[in-house]
Amino acid sequence: MPRLTHEEILHWLREEDPAALTTLFARADEVRRTHVGDEVHLRGLIEISSYCVRQCHYCGLRMARTMPRYRMTRDEILTAARSAVELGFGTVVLQSGEDFGIEAEWLAEVLRTIKNETPLAITLSLGERHSDELRLWRASGADRYLLRFETSDPALYAAIHPRRGVAVSDRVSLLRELRALGYEIGSGVMTGIPGQTHEMLTRDIELFEALDLDMVGIGPFLAHPDTPLGAPNAPTAGADQVPSSEWMVLKAVALTRLVCPEANLPSTTALATINTLDGREHGLESGANVFMPILTPAPYRQMYQIYPGKACIDEDATQCNTCLRERIERLGRTVGTGPGGRFTRTASHSLLALRSQPRFIPRNNSPSPLVVLS
Ligand code: SAH
């Protein structure tokens, strides 16, 4: 069966007829069920530091902002990881600004301790770090790495994600490097960044497929008033601008499920922020299969303000866990158990290890999804 063409993806991103979109979401939901099942995995998000050396034009953690910052201690991180186990989560995600105060050896010891004490899978999301650090962390127990490329358009990327000194920021190369180091790799984009066109978002989705990503996070861009993209003089929408609406996120998630049928796709907190009532459910019904509840200790949460008004920030971890489980069960889905990694890749890895062959194999021959354009 043919894959989705560039024109088909573009067509769906521009589609606004709710009846037509219902068929897209239903197809994505079916592909999700076939390839990754009904389990919804819970990943406990621990925001370990709000320090950042970057000046990203979209992000509230950018270095230029004068505000109180924090870096969690070893014991605080371990306590949060243990609470993830108690709550029944299979994975913790350690996320931060790009903070070189998080020293490689120090974090390696924390990772080893989590691995020795718990059955948790560990995902890192610490920005663009050096190869040696990434290698050390992988050897110390990190399983996955999240690094959104934010946009595949080089000019837009350069405009919103200034390079640091002379070093080129090439997140796609870094993702390839992470995969070669043995990480499961996750990436993603925001929908509705000023200057983002439907053509660009189409190419983003094609890049998810080309990279054969294990995880893809997609959320709406939410303007932060203390950043260049949220300031009164921010660039205004041009022709073909992608909106940061809930519909647009759902379309992008659904199309991503169709091109990356085996990937783990979160229904993001940013999506829940623009529709606090049932945005999370809409994500799960459009192809997503992961939630990322916040496990960051209460005093730090307000200081990790990537964007304003983040959903569920005032709920403690136990309340949040109960609420998310109820939402999952109301949809007739089940809460995932265990690490919930990419099923096929993990299976391939062990098979290949047995045969001691190169680890990377192309996507299997399962029928690729076809969406009949209406
Ligand atoms: N320092 C890490 C983690 C950044 S936060 C890194 O750079 O990878 C994780 C994600 O939040 C970012 O990759 C970005 O896609 C998203 N994000 C940042 N600012 C945002 C905003 N204003 N609205 C919505 N999402 C945002």
| List of domains in the chain | 6-339 (3.20.20.70)
Does residue 320 sit in helix, strand or coil? helix
Rounded Cα–Cα distance for residues 62 and 227 (Å):
8
Query: What's the token pair of residue 21?
Result: 């979109």
165 falls in which pLDDT band (50, 70, 90)? confident
Name the amino acid, one letter, at 291. F
Cα separations in angstroms, 69 against 18, 245, 300, 303, 309: 43, 30, 9, 6, 18
Average pLDDT rounded to a whole number, residues 159-174: 93
Rounded Cα–Cα distance for residues 178 and 173 (Å):
9
Ligand 1, CB cutoff 6 Å, lining residues = 58-59, 95, 97-98, 125, 127, 147-148, 150, 190, 219, 221-222, 224, 270, 306-307
Expressed in angstroms and rounded, the spacing between residue 20 Cα and the centre of ligand 1 is: 31
Tell me the percentage of the chain whose pLDDT exceeds 70. 91
Tokens 């073909």 found at: 240
Expressed in angstroms and rounded, the spacing between residue 364 Cα and the centre of ligand 1 is: 32
Rounded Cα–Cα distance for residues 92 and 84 (Å):
7
What is the signed CA dihedral for 356, 359, 363, 366, rounded to 10 degrees?
Answer: 30
Bridging pattern class, strands 121-125 and 334-335: unpaired
Expressed in angstroms and rounded, the spacing between residue 306 Cα and the centre of ligand 1 is: 6
Does residue 322 sit in helix, strand or coil? helix
| Biggest alpha carbon–alpha carbon distance for the chain | 59
Does residue 258 sit in helix, strand or coil? helix
- Res 349 pLDDT > 90: no
Ligand 1, atom 18, lies closest to the CA of 59
For the chain, what is the mean pLDDT? 92
pLDDT at residue 239 in the model = 87
CB 342 within 8 A of CB 184: yes
- Res 368 pLDDT > 50: no
Q: What is the number of residues in the chain?
A: 374
Render pLDDT for 119-130 as a digit per residue (tens, 0 to 9): 999 999 999 999
Rounded Cα–Cα distance for residues 280 and 267 (Å):
6
Expressed in angstroms and rounded, the spacing between residue 268 Cα and the centre of ligand 1 is: 12
Bridging pattern class, strands 290-291 and 184-191: unpaired
2 falls in which pLDDT band (50, 70, 90)? low
Query: What's the token pair of residue 183?
Result: 């990480």
**5-14, 162-171, 243-252, 304-313, range with the lowest pLDDT:** 162-171
Q: How many CB atoms lie within 10 A of CB 161?
A: 20
Rounded Cα–Cα distance for residues 245 and 249 (Å):
7
